[in-house]
Amino acid sequence: MRILISNDDGYLAPGLVALADALAAIADITVIAPDSNRSGSSNSLTLDRPLSMHKAPNGFYFVNGTPSDCVHLALTGMLAEKPDLVVSGINQGQNMGEDTLYSGTVAAATEGYLFGIPAMAFSQVEHGWAHLDAAARIARDMVERRFDSMPKPFLFNVNIPNRPYAELGKVAATRLGKRHVSEPVIKTQDPHGREIYWVGPTGAAKDAGEGTDFYAARQGWVSVTPLQVDLTHATQLATLKEALA
């Protein structure tokens, strides 16, 4: 099996190293990731300048671009053969609910999915890399499960509580929950007295009921949400057709 691995925390991130180590034991891996932390870059592609790719001493490739750039470059010019799976992460911090729209971790996996390749995005629920070994073992478990009964391609968004492997609950199929709107930007001043703004933190969970990713994570379960890309609002489409008739 050939696996393409990327992330959004950058090629030096502990989560990427742990993921690559875990999957190198069971597959031929290629790792290509941003040269710096590009969290929150969503599905953006760099179109206003060329990209450079370099190889680090550990064999990882790094690119001065986004997670989507990395996977796009790998699939359209770098790899001689299409991988069987694209895997992203392990991200520092949860990607649940609307996070999935902003996440570069999810975007790297989505790029593979858009090219018809099954893909999985992995995130740890809490920051700080606690119990990263357990998360990497879950990632390996998930890859080894193969999911032969799933339609191809699939796109899984996986969130893993920061717990020892033995203390993780079941692996639960979930839907995305919803968050309250983000906290306001933080307005402050730079050292020269100029006004600057920091984008504030994400909102707390709003729809975190049973069946959601938020709920599963709170139980200590591994949350797996199958994602799709079509943003069409099917029910509003019918109403709009009537409005425009």
Where do contacts with Mn ion occur on this chain (CB under 5 A)?
8-9, 39, 91
Q: Which is nearer to Mn ion, 79 or 130 (CB)?
A: 130
Q: Of 87, 88, 153, whose CA–CA distance to 117 is shortest? A: 153
**Spatial contact of 40 and 124, defined as CB atoms under 8 Å apart:** no
- In the complex, the smallest distance separating the C-beta of residue 91 from Mn ion, rounded to whole angstroms, is 4
Please state whether the peptide bond connecting residue 26 to the residue before it is cis, i.e. omega within 30 degrees of 0.
no
- In the complex, the smallest distance separating the C-beta of residue 9 from Mn ion, rounded to whole angstroms, is 4
Which residue is at the shortest CB distance from Mn ion?
39
For residue 107 the two structure tokens come to 């975007």
Q: Which is nearer to Mn ion, 9 or 118 (CB)?
A: 9
CA distance 50 to 47: 7
**Spatial contact of 63 and 33, defined as CB atoms under 8 Å apart:** yes
SS3 62: strand
- In the complex, the smallest distance separating the C-beta of residue 89 from Mn ion, rounded to whole angstroms, is 8
The CA-to-CA distance between both ends of the chain, in Å, stands at 52
- In the complex, the smallest distance separating the C-beta of residue 39 from Mn ion, rounded to whole angstroms, is 3
Q: Which is nearer to Mn ion, 37 or 147 (CB)?
A: 37
- In the complex, the smallest distance separating the C-beta of residue 184 from Mn ion, rounded to whole angstroms, is 22
Q: Where are the alpha helices (DSSP H) in the chain?
A: 14-24, 67-73, 99-102, 104-114, 132-145, 213-218, 234-244
CA distance 87 to 109: 6
CA distance 52 to 70: 10
Q: Which residues pair with 116 in a beta bridge?
A: none
Q: Which is nearer to Mn ion, 202 or 210 (CB)?
A: 202
Q: Which is nearer to Mn ion, 6 or 190 (CB)?
A: 6
- In the complex, the smallest distance separating the C-beta of residue 13 from Mn ion, rounded to whole angstroms, is 8
Q: Chain-centre distance of CA 108, in angstroms?
A: 6
Please state whether the peptide bond connecting residue 57 to the residue before it is cis, i.e. omega within 30 degrees of 0.
no
Q: Count of residues for the chain?
A: 245
